[in-house]
Structure 1
C-alpha cells in the first residue's frame, strides 16, 4: 500500500503541471465591427499559457498597428471576462496611408530616394506608411556605404497638417567620412599586394564600405594560389580605420601527364604515346605562373612549349605573357613559335590580351618533291579575350566555365613572297550541374587559318585526349577544324566519378581538298587520390561512313598532381 501511494505521489509531481494547467484565451476587439475585422486580419495569437504572454501579445499588436498607419490607436485596457478569458479593446481611429518626409538634399542623394519612392521633390518625398521602416533602413545602408558606417537615421517632428502626416528626416553621421587607412594581411603575409589593388580593387584611402569589402574578399577563393580563411574584420579608432584580411596560401603547382597506347594499323604492333605538363604558380609570391610541356607521340612528333605570365608589372594593372613553342615532325620539318602579349585583368572573371607572335619553320628534307613544305617566316598581331568562372568547392571540377577567343592578322613570307593571312580560334567549355551528383560537360574548340595558299607545315594539328578522343595524338592536319566534346558525368562521391564520351569533329584540309566528319565514343572515370587526379579514358574514333572497329580504340591514362 505504501509503495502504491508513493508511486501515485511521484506521478502527481511529474505531471501536475500538465494535469492542472489551464490555457488562457485572448480576444481583441475594436471600437466597432469594422475595427474588429481589421484587428482579426492581423492573425494574433488567441491561446496563451499565462497572463504575461497575453500582455506581450497585446503590446505586439499595438506596435503592428502603429506600423500599418494607425498611429493614433489607443488601448483601453485588458479585462478579465472569466477564469480563462481576457479581452483587450482598441480604438484604432484614422489610418494614415501616406507620409510626407522632409529632407536635406545636401545630405541625401535624390537618386537614392527615387529607388524607394515614386514621388520625390526638392524638399520632401512620399512613402506608403507601411514601407517607412524598410525604406529608412535602405537609406541608412546607402549612407553607410559612402563612408559613414556609424550613421543613425530617425524621423522627428511627426505631425498632422491638413489630414496629411508629415515628418522631418534626421541623419546623425560624422562629417568626416571613414576611409581605409591601413590594410593588414593575416595568415599569408607575403600575399602579393598588387592583387589587393588591381584584382580585389581594395586600396588605402578608399571609402569604407564593409558589405562591398566582403564581396571583394570572397574573390580570394577564385585565385589558384590563395584562399580566404574567414571574413574580413575592421578595427575602428578615433581617427583611423584598419582592415584585416585573413587568407592562406594554397597548393597551386600541378604536374600532369598521360600515357596512351593503341595498335598500329600497318605494323599491327602496340604503340605508346604521352606527355608531361608542369605548372608552377606563385612560387615567388608575385602571382606569377610558369608552365612547361613536353609531348612525344607515336607519329614521331615532338612538342616543347613553355609559357611565363607576370601579372601587374611595376604595380600597374598591366601584365605580360611570354611563350615559346617548338614542334618537330620526324625528319620533315620544325616550327618555332615565339609570342609576347600584354594583358589587362578587367575583374576576377574577364581578361583581355594584345600582342605579337613570330613563327619560323624549316624544311628538314634536303631533296624533296613535296611542294607543300617550305621554309617560311610569319608575324601576327593578335587580340584575345578570356572568361573564367570557378567552383572552388568542387575538388574534381574546380572550373565551371571558360572561354578563350583569339584573332590574329599578319603576313607569311616564303623566300621573297609575302602573303596576308588571318587566324581565328576558340577554346571554351561549360559544366551544367543538374544536382550534386549529375552534370553535363560541353567543350568546343577550333581554329581557322585564312590564306590564299597553304603549306603543310603551317596547318593545325589535332586529335587525342585533349581534342577528339579515339584518334592518335596530333594525327590530323587541317586548315580549319572544330571539335565538340560532350560528357555525362556521375559523381559516386567527392573523389570518384564516371562519365560517357561523345565527341564530334569537322575539319578541312585545303591542300588535299579533304572535308571530313569525325566521331569519338567511349567512357571513362576519374579518381582523386593522394597523388592527384587519375583519369582513364577508353574511346573509339571513326570517320563518317567508316565501319566501326574495336582495333581502332584508344586508351588514355593521365594523372594531375597538385603540390
Structure 2
C-alpha cells in the first residue's frame, strides 16, 4: 500500500472505519492479516469505472447532460457528486422533485465497474406567480424587477438562485431566503397535465434614517487637534430603493459639504442614476465647488458599468496659490458591488474609472485620469482573515499648478492611515493596505495594519518631486446598537514624537450602506 494511504489511515481508530474508507475508494478486495499480532492490511487492486448509463427518462431529456470523465478510479464521493449533478440538471429542466438512484455492477472484467444512474421524476413543472413575503416596505413593482421567473415559465432552479443574488445585491435589501419549491392548491384554470410550482421568497428590506460620524484626535503637531465628519442618510423612504446622503467635515481651517442621491430602476429599466454636488473651503487659500451626474447599468448581480459627467470650479484667494478655472469632463466606470467582510467569508471589490475633460483657465488644458482600486478579504483558519487593498490613480495634464482639490489626496482612515485626513495631494498616487484580522464574533474583530505607497506631485520618475508614505497601527471593530463601532490608533513611520492619531468612528447600518453605494458614484 502506498505511504500516502498509510498516513491517511492513521486518522482512524477502528477497523470498521478503515474498511469503509477503503471501500469508498474502490478497494473491494481487501485482505486483513492479524496472525502475527500486528494488523496488516492488503487493499488489493483499486476498481475502475469504465462507463455509466443514465436511465429512467427519455434520452432527449438528458441530451444536454455533460458526460462523466472515464475511465476513472472508483470514488464514492465523486459518484455521489455525479448523482447530485444529474438531479440539478433535472431541476434546471423543469423537474425540481427528481431523485437519482445509483446502482454499481461489474462490467464483466476484473476490477472494472459500470455505474447506472436511475432518474425518478414526476411530471414537468412550471412556475406559478411569484410569492413575495416578509418585512418589506419596498414596492412590489421594484422587487419584481429582480425576479427572473413569471407565471407559466418552465421551472429552472438557476432562475431561483439568480433571483436571490440579484435581490441581495440591492442596497435596500437586507436579506432574501428562497424557500423550497412546493405544489400549491390545484389551479382549475389550467389543464390537469400542467403542474405549477410555487417558490416563496422571504424578503427583509432596509429603510429609514441613518446618522453616523467620526472623530480623529491628532497629537503630533505641538498639541491635540480634532477633526471630524458627520453623515446623515435617507434610504428607501419612498419605497423605490432611493438613497440620499449628506456629509459635513471640517476643522479650524477646512470646511467641506457634500450631498449625493441615487435612484435605481429609472423608467423601470436596470439603470441607476447618481447625482452629487458639494463645496470645499480652505481658509485663506481657495474655494472649490463641484457637481456630478452618472448613469450606471447592470452586468448581472455583481457588476456595474456606466458613464459619468462632472464639472467643478476653483477660486483661489490670491494669484500666488493658483488660477481661477473651471473643468468639464466625462468618465467611463466599471465596478463590482462590495460585500460586507465577515468571519469565514471570502469577498472582493474592484473599481476602474477613466476619463478626460477640458480645464479652462488663462488658457485651455486637456486633463485625463485613470483610477484603479481592488481589494480581497481572505479567510484564514476559523476566525482569522487577511484583508488587502491596492489603489493606483494617475492624472495627466500640462497644467503647471493645481490646487489640492484638483488632485488626488491621501491620508486618513480611507487611504493611508497614520496621516491627517487628505493631508497630501498628488497627481499620481499608488498605495496598498494590509490588515490582519482576528474575529471574535461574526463581524467583530481586532486587527493590526500597515499602509504604504508613493505619490508624485508632477511627473513620474526617481528625480521627480515625490514622497513615500507609510503608516501602521491597530484597532477594533465591533457591532453595537448604534451601528458598527471602530476605534483605531495609527502612526506614520516618520513620527518620533507624539502619540500618533486616534480615530473613533460609528457607522450606522443605513449610512454604511449609502457610503458603499456612493463608492461607485
Length-normalised TM-score, structure 2: 0.72
Which 10-residue stretch deviates more, 426-435 or 310-319? 426-435
> How do 1:202-281 and structure 2 match up within 5 A?
202-210=149-157, 212-214=159-161, 216-217=163-164, 220-224=167-171, 225-229=173-177, 231-236=179-184, 237-238=186-187, 239=190, 240-250=196-206, 254-263=210-219, 265=221, 268-281=222-235
Q: Aligned partners of 1:438, 1:351: CA distance in 2, in Å?
A: 30
> How far off is 1:233 after superposition?
4.1
Does 2:448 match 1:500? Answer: yes
CA RMSD across the alignment: 4.2
* Secondary structure in 1 matching 2:399: coil
Greater mean alpha carbon deviation, residues 436-445 or residues 251-260: 251-260
1:445-484 superposed matches below 5 A: 445-457=391-403, 458-484=406-432
Write out per-residue CA displacement over residues 300-327 of structure 1, whole angstroms, 9 at most, x where no aligned residue.
1222122111111121111211121322
Task: Give the number of the structure whose alpha-carbon radius of gyration is greater.
Answer: 1
Instruction: Identify which of structures 1 and 2 has the higher relative contact order when contacts are C-alpha pairs closer than 8 Å and 6+ apart.
Output: 2
Q: Give the equivalent residue in structure 1 for 2:356.
A: 409
1:359 matched to 2:315: no
Distance 1:194 1:480 in 2: 45
The verdict on how the C-alpha distance between 1:401 and 1:292 changes in structure 2, with shifts beyond 3 A counting, is farther
Contact persistence 1:388–1:399 (CA under 8 A): no
1:220–1:228 Cα contact (<8 Å) kept: yes
Match of 1:301 in 2: 254
- For 2:484, the equivalent position in structure 1 comes to 533
1:345 is aligned to 2:345: no
User: Among 419, 423, 431, which residue is 2:377 paired with?
Assistant: 431
Say whether the 8 Å CA contact 2:149–2:159 is kept in structure 1: no
Match status 1:384 vs 2:333? yes
Deviation at 1:432, TM superposition (A): 1.5
Structure 2 regions of 5+ residues with no counterpart? 1-25, 32-46, 102-113, 191-195, 511-521
Could you tell me which runs of 5 or more consecutive residues in structure 1 were left unpaired when the two chains were aligned. Answer: 1-37, 44-67, 69-95, 120-127, 155-164
Cα deviation for residue 222 of structure 1 reads: 4.7
Distance 2:427 2:97 in 1: 64
Partner SS state of residue 551, structure 1:
coil
Q: How far is 1:339 from its partner? A: 1.2
Structure 2 vs 1, CA of residues 468 and 100 (structure 1 numbering), >3 Å: closer, same or farther? closer
The answer for the alignment partner of 2:61 in structure 1 is 108
* CA gap 1:254/1:409 in 2 versus in 1, 3 angstroms: same
TM-score (norm 1): 0.67
Q: Is the 1:410–1:422 contact (alpha carbons within 8 Å) kept by the matching residues of 2?
A: yes
Displacement of 1:520 in angstroms is: 0.9
* Separation (CA, whole Å) in 2 of partners of 1:39 and 1:509: 69
Counterparts of 2:342 and 2:424, CA distance in 1: 37
Give yes or no for contact 2:148–2:163 (8 Å, CA) kept in 1.
Answer: yes
Of the structure 1 ranges 307-316 and 179-188, higher mean CA displacement relative to structure 2 is found in 179-188
